[in-house]
Amino acid sequence: MGIVSPGFHGRRRQGDVKLPPGQYLTEDFPVLSAGPTPRVGTDEWEFTVTAETGERRSWTWREFLELPAETPTVDIHCVTKWSKLGTTWTGVSLDALLAGVETTADYALARSYGGYTTNLPLQDLLDGQAWLAYRFGDEELVPEHGGPVRLLVPHLYFWKSAKWIRGLDLLTQDEPGFWETAGYHDYGDPWLEQRYQGD
C-alpha cells in the first residue's frame, strides 16, 4: 500500500519503515528525465483522452482545474532504488477525469509532451490509485518534476508516473511505452521487484 495517513509519516522513523525489496530511503527529491525538460505553459496545455473507439475528450487548463482536487500523501519508489516516503500532492483523480468517458478498454498508454510514453492496465488508474498531479507539497509542480501536470501512480515504480502528461490513449491491447520497450517490466510492481522484463 502506498497511501499513508497524514500525520503518521512525520512520526515514522527509518527503522520502522518497510521499504519494497532493494530500495533505500532518500530525503531529497532526485530528478530523473530521459530527455530535456519541456516547458509547457498552462495557456497552451491541454489534456486529451482518446478512447479505443476513436472518441476524444479534451480539457483546457481552466476546465481541468474545475475538476475536484484531492491531496494524496503517498510513498514513491524509483526503479533506480530510491524511495521517498510521505509525499503530498494535489491533483485530480483519474476516476474523476474518466467518469464521463465510455470505454471497454483494458489498457492505457500515457503520452507526454516531449514524446515519453508509458503503459498501464486501465484498472491501475482507477479506484483512487492514480492522479493527474499539479502541486507538490505547498508549491505548484515545477517543470523538472513534470509540471504543469504529471501522472502520479504511486503503487507502481515511478517511471509509470509520466511527467508533462498530455494525454491518455485507452487501448484494447497492451502497448509498451518508452522504458518498457527498452527492457523494463511491463507492470512494475515495486513490492514484487518487477524491475525488468522477466522479473
Ligand X SMILES: Nc1nc2c(c(=O)[nH]1)N[C@H]1C(S)=C(S)[C@@H](COP(=O)(O)O)O[C@H]1N2
Q: How many CB atoms lie under 10 A from the CB of residue 38? A: 16
Nearest approach, Cβ of residue 72 and Mo ion (Å): 19
* Shortest reach from residue 167's CB to ligand X, in Å: 12
Minimum CB–partner distance for residue 151 and ligand X (Å) = 8
Q: Is 178 exposed, middle or buried (0-12, 13-18, 19+ CB in 10 A)?
A: middle
Q: Least Å distance between CB 33 and ligand X? A: 4
The residues, any chain, with a CB within 8 Å of residue 36's CB and separated by 6 or more, are: 114
Distance, in Å, from the CA atom of 154 to the CA atom of 30, rounded to the nearest integer, reads 16
> Where on the chain is the footprint of ligand X (CB under 6 A)?
29-34, 78, 112, 114, 116, 145-146, 158-159, 161-164
Is residue 78 close enough to count as binding Mo ion by CB under 5 A? Answer: yes
State the residue number with the nearest CB to Mo ion: 78
Phi and psi, residue 170, nearest 5°: -95, 125
Neighbours of 18 (CB within 10 A): 5
The residue number whose beta carbon is nearest to ligand X equals 116
Q: Which of residues 101-160 bind Mo ion (CB under 5 A)?
A: 159
Instruction: Copy the grid coordinates of residue 100.
Output: 464521463
89 forms beta bridges with 136
Quick one: 97 or 154, whose CB is closer to Mo ion?
154
192 binds, among Mo ion, ligand X, none (CB under 5 to 8 A by kind): none
Binding site for Mo ion (CB under 5 A): 32, 78-79, 159
